[in-house]
Structure 1
Amino acid sequence: MHVFDAAAVHAALSWQFLIEALRKGHLGEMPASEVVVQSDPAGGEAQFVTLPGWANGGPIVVKMVGVFPQNAVLQPPQPAVQGLVALFDGKTGGPLLIADGAAMTARKTAADSALGAAILAREDVEDLLVVGAGALAPHFAEAHLAARPSLRRVTIWNRTPSRAEAVAAQLREKGIDAVVGDDLDDAVARADVVSCVTMSDKALVKGTLLRPGAHLDLVGAYLPHLREADNAALTRGTIFVDSRNNMQGGGDLSQAVASGAITWNAVEADLFELVQGKREGRTGADQITVFKNNGGAHLDLFTAAALSQTLG
């Protein structure tokens, strides 16, 4: 059995390789998957999540992760999501590999949104705005740049400017033109691609400010009470999701549906339908596209399978 620590995961899974692996994974059927969520028995915000997935005729994955929002304020900070991902042979049940869960989650989650952008964002986009400056933020910037090479500039916005500057500095060290956005509304109005990676419980992105032709990537609101974009963003935009299986759990869509702003029929397609050509993606240069990244064990399976391919 092979063991991948965080550095080995990041080194093995280049963005171009992983985005293409996810694309190929979506050419098949949705793997069988489950989600088991346990909440902190002490009543805190933390959760422990177990996600098994099994592809028809293929491998089995089990992701075991803790979601600890308070980790960001620890000294030194730790990833809010960390744990392990294990891949097993689908015919014998034998273990094939085990990998660092935080690195796998960062790689998988960012590549999921990057695949959405590769399909839905315009080919001439230049300005990327990343809303949020947590552990995932630099990965999302790099993944979007890989998916849309026309992107030239990256703006990082965070409620705490010093954290945004830390992410921007990290990107600049890699030769990326990255700056801090002082005013979120102004940054949204200028961006071609807006990627939200936060734990916000109120809408941050105002839909009225989105440019014609913009692509909005919503990642962080994975629970019903969380929210990253307002109703105007969802009514102005054409909505896509990575998977219809998980779309009811996140706050952006569920709150908009509960308010009557949209219905679930507003979701135009998921990645399986888009990759397989069953539904159309972007249909015009001025169309605003909204992609809700919900995650799921199937993405962990595709990512772990891609990692196994690097073993030769």
Structure 2
Amino acid sequence: MLVIPDDKVIAALNYADLIDALEKMFCSDYELPVRHHHFYTIKEQQENALILMPVWNKTYLGVKQVIVAPNNHTRNIPAIHAAYTLWDAVTGEQLAMMNAAQLTSRRTACTSALAAKYLAPADARRLLVVGGGKVAKHLVQAHSAVRNYESIEVWMRNPDKLKAFITELEKEGIRVTAIENLEEAARKADVISTATLSPTPVIKGEWLKPGTHLDLIGSHKPDTRETDDTAITRSHIFVDTREGALHETGDLAIPIKTGVFDPADVKADIRELCLQQHPGRTSAGEITIFKSAGLAVEDLAAALLVYNSYTGA
């Protein structure tokens, strides 16, 4: 069994290549069981989550094991730690193991960018990224692979993290602007991509101009949300999967529980978009939301990209 080092994982996960690999995977045949969630409380009365995410096709089987520890920001370490194991689905032979931190953050950002390929305005020029975690650090590059943005703005609660983030992107030749007034930036943005652990809305529906695409990545629990009821009622809703997004994430679970949103009103999931079973955006003034809960099949697509790159397959 191969143990693939982090530098090889990062090298293999080029944003454009990963978006393409994800699209091809969504158009293929695979089995995707509902992932397992287990919540546990540590001595500090902090609730962490253990997530087990299996998926398989006729050739490969993969499982990701994830720990989400929301209070890790107080320790200055990532909130998410994960490992990925890839097997031969026919023989059961273990093929590879890898740290899934980069795998997770990059495939999450690239799945959102893939959705934006179908849902963001074709002439989108202003991108707003909200959040300072591991996923947020990849959203600028991922979204820029599907649209030609003239202005990219970033908002984070922590000004030191924001400064470091901008410096890092500048080293890659990417120009972004730090903002302080989130409402003002949101009202002007064509695409807003949020990846926070906020328990309450950070983006208000009244801020969204006609034609905006709102990409919601955070809120992995049914009692937390990144946007409000107004955004939900004003928008056409798309999801990665109905099974996950409608029940695991507060952005949709809360308005469903209160009767604000009917699950039957979901327009399409990401697989249906990729298979062109739904056209995606249908008008210039349409406000769209893509809610991501994260899928094991995304990890498999990314892990295979890494594995094939590492083995030269």
CA contact (8 A) 1:224 1:255 kept: yes
1:65 corresponds to which letter in structure 2?
V
Paired residues in the alignment total 308
CA distance in 2 between partners of 1:253 and 1:29 (Å): 27
SS of alignment partner, residue 201 of structure 1: coil
Q: Tell me the residue number matched to 2:23.
A: 23
From the superposition, tell whether residues 233 and 30 of structure 1 become closer, same or farther in structure 2 (CA, over 3 Å).
farther
Q: Once the two structures are superposed, what CA deviation does each residue of 1:9-62 show, in whole Å capped at 9, x if it has no partner?
A: 11111011110011001112452324222323434222222212122x131001
Moved more, 264-273 or 163-172: 163-172
Q: C-alpha offsets along residues 157-183 of structure 1, whole Å, 9 cap, x if unaligned? A: 122223222222221221111111111
Contact kept in structure 1, 2:61 and 2:86, CA below 8 Å: yes
Cα distance in 1, alignment partners of residues 113 and 12 from structure 2? 18
Matched residue, 2:105: 106
Match for residue 68 of structure 1? 69
Aligned to 2:266: 267
Q: Which runs of 4+ in 1 moved over 3 A?
A: none
Q: Give 2:81's aligned residue.
A: 82
Equivalent pair of 1:239/1:266 in contact (CA under 8 Å) = yes
Identity %: 36
1:120 CA drift (Å): 1.0
For the aligned residue pairs, the C-alpha RMSD in angstroms reads 1.5
The aligned counterpart of 2:222 is 224
Q: CA deviation at 1:259?
A: 2.2
* SS in structure 1 of the partner of residue 109 of structure 2: helix
SS in structure 1 of the partner of residue 285 of structure 2: coil
Letter of the aligned partner of 2:277 in structure 1? K
- Report the equivalent of 2:46: 44
1:292 and 2:291 equivalent?
yes
The match for 1:237 among 235, 248, 251 is 235
Query: Which residue identity does 1:200 align to in structure 2?
Result: S
SS of alignment partner, residue 109 of structure 1: helix
Deviation at residue 103 of structure 1 after TM alignment: 0.9
CA drift of 1:111 comes to 1.1
| Displacement after TM superposition at 1:99 (Å) | 1.3
Distance change (3 Å), C-alpha of 1:279 and 1:30: farther
Is the 2:34–2:243 Cα contact (8 Å) retained in structure 1?
Answer: no
Q: Deviations 1:115-139 (Å, cap 9, x if unpaired)?
A: 1111111221111111111222121
CA distance in 2, matches of 1:30, 1:233: 33
Comparing 300-309 with 209-218, which one deviates more in the overlay?
Answer: 300-309
Q: What per-residue deviation string (whole Å, max 9, x for no partner) do you get for residues 174-204 of structure 1?
A: 1111111111100101111100100011111
Once the 2 structures are TM-superposed, how far is the Cα of residue 305 of structure 1 from its aligned partner?
2.0
1:287 deviates by 1.1
Post-superposition CA distance 1:56-88 (Å, at most 9, x none): x131001012111122221xx222111211110
Tell me the residue number matched to 1:186: 184
Check conservation: 2:46, 2:71, Cα contact below 8 A: no
Instruction: Return closer, same or farther for 1:38/1:286 CA change in 2, 3 Å cut-off.
Output: same
The aligned counterpart of 2:13 is 13
Q: Which amino acid aligns with 1:103?
A: Q
Q: Output the TM-score relative to the length of structure 2.
A: 0.94
Q: Return the alpha-carbon distance in structure 2 between the equivalents of residues 163 and 258 of structure 1.
A: 36
Q: What corresponds to 1:205 in structure 2?
A: 203
Cα offset, 1:100, TM superposition = 1.1
Shift of 1:277: 1.5
Structure 2 Cα separation of the partners of residues 52 and 105 of structure 1: 14
Q: Note the C-alpha offset of 1:232.
A: 1.2
Counterpart residue identity of residue 51, structure 1: M
Gaps of 5+ in 1: none
